[in-house]
Amino acid sequence: MTEKYFDLTGKRALVTGSSLGIGRALARGLAEHGAGVVLNARNAERLSEAAEAMRADGLDVSEAAFDVTDGVAVTESVSRIEDEIGSIDILINNAGMQHRAPLEDFPEEAWDRLLRTNVTSAFLVGKAVARHMIGRGRGKIINIASVQSELARPGIAPYTATKGAIRNLTRGMATDWARHGLQCNAIAPGYFKTPLNQALVDDPAFTEWLERRTPAGRWGDVHELVAAAVFLAGAGSSFVNGQTLFVDGGMTASI
C-alpha cells in the first residue's frame, strides 16, 4: 500500500543542472522510481554523456540543453518539452554554482553571476513550468537549497545569500501556487562529495573540520539525497508545502 506514495510511474521530471553531481544523482533516482526524466544543462556534450549512461541502464531519459538564466530560452524550452516530450509533472531546480572569496574583495561580476545562476534560474524555470502545472491543477516543484540556507561560513557570503533566497522563494511559490494544486518544497543538502565541493574534499584540514562538525562524522554521498526527492516528488507529500528538508548529517541540529 505504501509503495504508491513513492511510485513515479507515468510522471515526467525536468531536472536542471543534471549533467553532474547532485542533479545527475537526483535525475537517476527519479527515473529508477519510474519517472521519465528530462536532463538539462548548458553543455550539450556533457548532457548527452549523462543521458546515454542512464539510457544504457534502461531508464527513460530525454535531453534539453538550454541556459536556465536566459528567460527567453527558458520559456521556449519549457514549451518545447511540453509539446514534444510530454507534460512536466515534477521540476527540480538544481542548477547552481559557487565562488569563494573574502566578502570585502568579492567581485561584483561574480555576485551577479551567482544570483543569476542560483536564484534567477529557479524563478525563471519555476515560473515557466508552473504556468503549465497550474492549468492542469497539479505539480511538484523541488528547489535545491543548502545547509547555507541556515548557516554561513567565511568566504561564501554571497552563496549563502543566494541559498537563503531559495529557501524563501520556495515559501513564496507555495504561498502563491498551493491553491492551484502544486506542492513546492526544497531540499537543503549538507556537505556532499560533488564536483562543486571538490576543492574542499581534497583539503585534509577542511575534511577533518567537517567530520568533527557533523554529528554523522562524514561527508554525504549524493545517493543519500534521492529518497528525499522521491518523497517530495510523489503522492506521499500531497500536503507538504513550503518546507525545506535538511539532509545534512545533523549539522544544523548541533552547535
State the catalytic residues.
159
State the Cα–Cα distance between residues 19 and 21, nearest whole angstrom: 7
Q: What's the Cα-to-Cα distance from 86 to each of 61, 79, 125, rounded to whole Å? A: 12, 10, 16
CA pseudo-torsion sign 62, 126, 45, 162 = negative
Vertex 64 angle, CA 110 and 25, to 5°: 75
- Look at the block and give the residue holding cell 545533523: 250
State the Cα–Cα distance between residues 148 and 19, nearest whole angstrom: 23
Number of H helices, E strands in the chain: 9, 7
